[in-house]
């Protein structure tokens, strides 16, 4: 272990000197999730908006109602011109022939979902006010017509939030993508550059070399995962997505510890896969060829787990990677299944040991180390 | 003393069997420079890798100072320094960082290690480059750094595979000076080369190797006497 720590420290010197790598493992994960949330409006789809312009042909009571709430409105006479949506996003058309009020929304606009939500909400409100006023004028008490008023109260707002699905997926991606470069370079790269022999001829066991490389690669990939979580907290601090950070902040310290242990053991598994591929490969390029299919499988699994109710996920819930992602989702949602989490951690450790054992066998083979 | 007894090393490549070393018997006495001379692909590097425990013989036995290269790898590694012609320095480190790392790996205490680094750096004329990143060093200084790494733990046996490859005349001369100094300090140096002039000027004993077999071995003077020719002519005759 002493030799592994020595090698780990040496590897870290080179890693910290590589400014491009440092930027890749810190800045990119830090800004990537906030950027995705911000530019795609993830989590904002149902949020009503008010900054749009409403055109109308007749000042019907609903238009007057909207004007009371300071919506920007503009009167248009010609219906065909109104549907070109030159400077407005909504056109309220009132026909003299029938009583139907048509509300046209420019669906080409990215915020059309929010506009429709707003229009529906204000129309419901308008209808309520209108009915109440009509009943009042007819001297009919409102509770004769509507026996109860309804108020919808949101609870468990953080459960099944988009963050609880996306964050585990992004953590897995960062663990993998950040480790690929360093992990492949750590052995295959050294073989390619002929620097590995310097180590092999010294008094350090092959196991110690593998562990030293494992620790340094793990540090790099974990840094990326930590920065992606920090990026998410930034969303919360700057109120870009109020829900985003609160999902994390609502996790108790005990559960957060479990979350961290899952990430660390998942990282061990990810990096051990890279280490065995790196041990076998003659060059980094060859290693990339082997890792790419593995990476795609992990990506597909990660995406499948975003829909935890799917049959694929429930059939393979005990498998590595899937169990880690599901356990992380559960912790973020506050659904703690201790047995499942223990199995997840144990399986990550077990598979890591098996893979590292196989890597050691490979690494001890002359035909692999001196393969040309 | 290094003893190779009936050593054979076979590499299997698809349907081909290559005998890199074929029944080699050699005895390398201590406190000398032993030259292993042969053309490219003769089996020099494989022989040196076998002695340095990087590879295991397919058949036969190698003893290094009484230790078996298969069973006592750690003990042997502590006693040898190995520098191969195809080794390169890792980037993004300074020679000092690398010397500290390899010194600590060989269990040298900090005080002894810093003294040893100062000694070697002075000996190799590397003082002004000790804190320069390896990628910025000249070829000669890179080679000197590799030599420094291979001898940081003060090994009794030093194995150099083509140590002057790619070096200019001055750098090559300074490397050879270091090798001679090691012998004078009581070390055993095994030097692989195909440069006969270097071998003639530097080595005490020589073995000619070709197609995995030792074709001739003796001390330089006896060989010249036996064949009544220069080493270069002997080489051309027997290889």
Domain ranges of chain A: 2-43+161-369, 53-144
- Measured between beta carbons, the chain B residues lying within 8 angstroms of A7 are 101, 105
User: With 0-12 CB in 10 A as exposed, 13-18 as middle and 19+ as buried, what is A42?
Assistant: middle
- CB–CB contact A190 B90 (8 Å): yes
Average per-residue pLDDT for chain A: 84
Please indicate whether, in this complex, the C-beta atoms of B90 and A198 are within 8 angstroms of each other: yes
Interface test with B, best of A195, A197, A201 (most B CBs within 10 A): A201
Quick check: B86 and A3 CB within 8 A? Answer: no
Name the residue in chain A with its Cα closest to that of B82. Answer: A201
Q: Do B52 and A190 touch (CB under 8 A)?
A: no
φ/ψ (deg, to 5) at B219? -80, 155
Question: Which of A195, A201, A366 shows the shortest C-beta gap to B88?
Answer: A195
Please name which of A175, A272, A265 lies closest in space to residue A227, comparing C-alpha atoms. Answer: A175
- Could you give the CA distance from residue B160 to residue B217 in angstroms, rounded to a whole number? 18
All residues of chain B having their beta carbon less than 8 Å from the beta carbon of residue A3 are 105
Best B45, B92, B161, B165 residue to mutate vs chain A (most A CBs within 10 Å)? B92
Judged by CB atoms closer than 8 Å, whether chains meet at B92 and A17 is answered as yes
- Which residues are CB-contacts of B18 (< 8 A; sequence separation ≥ 6)? B10, B11, B12
Cβ within 8 Å, pair B149-A366:
no
Q: Does residue A219 surpass a pLDDT of 90? A: yes
From chain A, the residues in CB contact with B84 under 8 A are 197
Distance from CA of A370 to the nearest CA of B (A): 9
What is the C-alpha to C-alpha distance for residues B170 and B50, in angstroms, rounded to an integer? 31
For residues B174 and B182, what is the distance between their CA atoms, to the nearest angstrom?
Answer: 13
> Do B88 and A194 make contact, defined as CB atoms within 8 angstroms?
yes
A366 within 8 A of A283, measured Cβ to Cβ:
no
Give Cα separations from B195 to B38, B43, B211 (angstroms).
9, 16, 18
Q: Do B205 and B26 contact (CB within 8 A), yes or no?
A: no
B129 within some domain: no
| Interchain CB distance below 8 Å, B77 and A195 | no
Please count the residue pairs, one from chain A and one from chain B, whose beta carbons lie less than 8 angstroms apart. Answer: 61
Tell me whether residue B183 is in a domain: yes
Closest partner residue to B78 (CB to CB) among A3, A6, A203 is A203
Asked if residue B83 lies in contact with residue B163, where contact means CB atoms within 8 angstroms, the answer is: yes
Give this complex's ipTM.
0.85
Name the residue in chain A with its Cα closest to that of B87. Answer: A194
Domains contained in chain B, number: 1
What does the alpha-carbon distance between residue A320 and residue A340 come to, in Å, rounded to a whole number?
A: 12
The tokens for B204 are: 């005490």
Instruction: Give the closest residue to B145 by CA, choosing from B166, B120, B170.
Output: B120
**Closest-CA residue of chain A to B153:** A202
- B160 forms bridges with which residues in the sheet? B83, B191
Q: Could you tell me if residue B226 is left (phi over 0), alpha (psi between -120 and 50 degrees) or otherwise beta?
A: alpha
Q: Which domain holds residue B164?
A: 2-87+149-238
pLDDT per position as a tens digit, A278-287: 999 999 999 9
Residue B161 in any domain: the answer is yes
Give the closest residue to A278 by CA, choosing from A371, A186, A370. Answer: A186
In this predicted structure, the answer to whether residue A244 has a pLDDT above a threshold of 70 is no
Asked, for residue B160, whether it belongs to a domain, the answer is yes
b/e for A191-218, b at 16 or more Cβ within 10 A? bbbebbbbbbbbbbebbbbbbbbbbbbb
By CA distance, what is B76's nearest residue in A?
A203
Dump pLDDT digits (tens) for A144-184. Answer: 777 777 777 766 655 556 677 778 888 888 888 888 988 99
Checking if the pLDDT of A83 tops 70, the result is: yes
The set of residues, in sequence order, having a beta carbon less than 8 Å from that of A353 and lying 6+ positions away, is: none
A299-348 pLDDT, tens digit each: 888 888 877 666 666 777 788 888 899 898 888 887 788 889 999 999 99
Name which of B170, B156, B218 is nearest B27 in CA terms: B218
Cβ pair B87:A198 closer than 8 A: yes
CA distance B111 to B103: 11
Residues of A in contact with B89 (CB under 8 A): 195
- The partner residue sitting opposite B90, judged by closest CB among A6, A14, A366, is A14
What is the pLDDT, as a whole number, of residue A45? 46
Question: B10 contacts in A (CB within 8 Å)?
Answer: none
Within A238-337, residue ranges assigned H as helices are 242-249, 253-280, 284-304, 311-315, 322-333
Q: Which of A120-124, A149-153, A166-170, A229-233 has the lowest mean pLDDT?
A: A149-153
Q: Which member of A10, A18, A194 has the closest CB to residue B86?
A: A194
Taking CA–CA distances from A17, the nearest residue in chain B reads B92
Alpha-carbon distance values, B9 to B18, B22, B24, B50 (Å):
8, 7, 9, 9
Residue ranges for chain B with pLDDT beneath 50: none
* Facing A197 at nearest CB: one of B54, B78, B80: B54
Residues of A within 8 A of B53 (CB-CB) are 201
Residue B98: closest C-alpha in chain A: A10
B46, B73, B84, B101: which to substitute to probe chain A, counting the most A Cβ within 10 Å? B101
Query: Would you state the structure tokens that stand for residue B148, as one six-digit string?
Result: 């420094």
Task: Specify if B134 maps to a domain.
Answer: no
Is residue B136 a part of any domain in this protein?
no
CA A354 to chain centre: 30
Q: What percent of chain A has pLDDT over 70?
A: 88
Contact residues on chain A for B133, CB-CB shorter than 8 A: 17
Residue A42, pLDDT > 80, answer: no
Q: Nearest CA to CA, how far is A216 from chain B (Å)?
A: 15
Q: Is the CB of B91 less than 8 angstroms away from the CB of A14?
A: yes
Does pLDDT of A242 surpass 70?
no
Strands A53-56 and A90-94: parallel
Cβ(A98)–Cβ(A79) under 8 Å? no
Looking at chain B, the whole-number percentage of residues with pLDDT higher than 90 is 38
Nearest-Cα residue of chain B relative to residue A194? B87
Q: Which residue of chain A has the CA closest to B107?
A: A203
Q: Which residue has the tokens 């929010």?
A: A114
Split at pLDDT 50, 70, 90, the class of A247 is low
Residue B34 is assigned to a structural domain of this protein: yes
Instruction: Write the burial class of residue B194 (CB in 10 Å: 0-12 exposed, 13-18 middle, 19+ buried).
Output: middle
For residue A159, the model assigns a pLDDT of 58
A100 DSSP 8-state letter: P
CATH number for position B197: 3.40.50.300
CB contact at 8 A, A239 and A43? no
Establish if B143 belongs to a structural domain: no
Cα of B140 to nearest chain A Cα, Å: 17
């Amino acid at each position: 272990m002493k030799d592994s720590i020595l090698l780990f420290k040496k590897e870290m010197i080179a890693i910290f000197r590589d400014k491009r790598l440092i930027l890749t493992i810190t800045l990119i994960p830090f800004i990537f999730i906030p950027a995705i949330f911000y530019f795609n409006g993830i989590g904002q789809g149902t949020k009503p908006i008010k900054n749009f312009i409403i055109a109308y042909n007749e000042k019907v009571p609903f238009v007057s109602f909207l004007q009371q709430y300071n919506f920007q409105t503009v009167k248009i006479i010609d219906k065909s011109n109104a549907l070109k949506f030159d400077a407005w996003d909504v056109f309220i058309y009132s026909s003299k022939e029938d009583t139907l009020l048509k509300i046209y929304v420019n669906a080409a606009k990215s915020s059309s979902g929010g506009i429709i939500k707003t229009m529906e909400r204000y129309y419901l409100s308008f209808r309520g006010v209108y009915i109440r006023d009509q009943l009042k004028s007819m001297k009919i008490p409102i509770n004769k017509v509507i026996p109860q008023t309804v108020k919808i109260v949101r609870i468990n707002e953080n459960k099944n939030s988009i963050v609880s699905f996306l964050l585990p997926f992004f953590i897995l991606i960062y663990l993998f993508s950040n480790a690929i470069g360093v992990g492949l370079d750590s052995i295959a790269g050294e073989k390619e550059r002929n620097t590995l022999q310097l180590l092999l001829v010294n008094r350090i066991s092959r196991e110690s070399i593998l562990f030293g490389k494992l620790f340094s690669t793990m540090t790099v990939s974990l840094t990326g995962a930590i920065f992606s979580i920090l990026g998410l907290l930034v969303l919360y601090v700057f109120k870009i997505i109020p829900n985003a950070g609160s999902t994390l902040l609502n996790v108790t310290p005990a559960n957060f510890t479990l979350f961290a242990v899952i990430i660390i053991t998942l990282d061990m598994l990810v990096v051990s896969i890279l280490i065995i591929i790196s041990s076998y490969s003659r060059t980094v390029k060859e290693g990339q060829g082997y890792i790419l299919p593995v990476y795609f499988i992990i990506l597909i699994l990660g995406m499948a787990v975003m829909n935890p109710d799917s049959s694929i996920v429930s059939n393979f819930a005990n498998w590595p990677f899937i169990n880690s992602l599901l356990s992380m989702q559960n912790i973020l949602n506050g659904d703690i299944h201790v047995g499942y989490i223990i199995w997840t951690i144990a399986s990550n450790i077990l598979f890591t040991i098996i893979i590292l054992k196989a890597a050691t066998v490979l690494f001890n083979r002359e035909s692999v180390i001196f393969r040309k | 003393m290094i003893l190779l007894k009936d050593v054979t090393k076979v590499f299997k490549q698809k349907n081909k069997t290559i005998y890199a070393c074929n029944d080699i018997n050699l005895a390398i006495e201590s406190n000398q420079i032993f030259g292993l001379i042969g053309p490219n692909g003769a089996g020099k590097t494989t022989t040196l890798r076998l002695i340095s425990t990087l590879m295991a013989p397919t058949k036969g036995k190698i003893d290094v100072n009484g230790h078996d290269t298969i069973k006592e790898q750690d003990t042997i590694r502590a006693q040898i320094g190995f520098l191969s012609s195809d080794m390169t320095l890792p980037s993004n480190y300074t020679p000092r960082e690398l010397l500290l790392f390899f010194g600590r790996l060989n269990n040298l205490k900090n005080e002894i290690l810093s003294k040893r680094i100062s000694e070697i750096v002075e000996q190799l004329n590397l003082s002004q480059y000790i804190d320069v990143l390896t990628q910025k060093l000249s070829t000669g200084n890179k080679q000197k750094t590799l030599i420094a790494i291979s001898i940081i733990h003060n090994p009794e046996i030093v194995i150099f595979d083509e140590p002057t490859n790619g070096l200019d005349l001055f750098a090559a001369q300074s490397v050879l000076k270091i090798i001679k100094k090691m012998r004078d300090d009581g070390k055993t140096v095994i030097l692989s080369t195909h440069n006969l002039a270097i071998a003639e000027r530097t080595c005490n004993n020589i073995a000619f190797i070709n197609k995995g077999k030792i074709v001739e071995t003796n001390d330089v003077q006896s060989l010249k006497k036996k064949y009544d020719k220069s080493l270069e002519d002997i080489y051309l005759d027997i290889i």
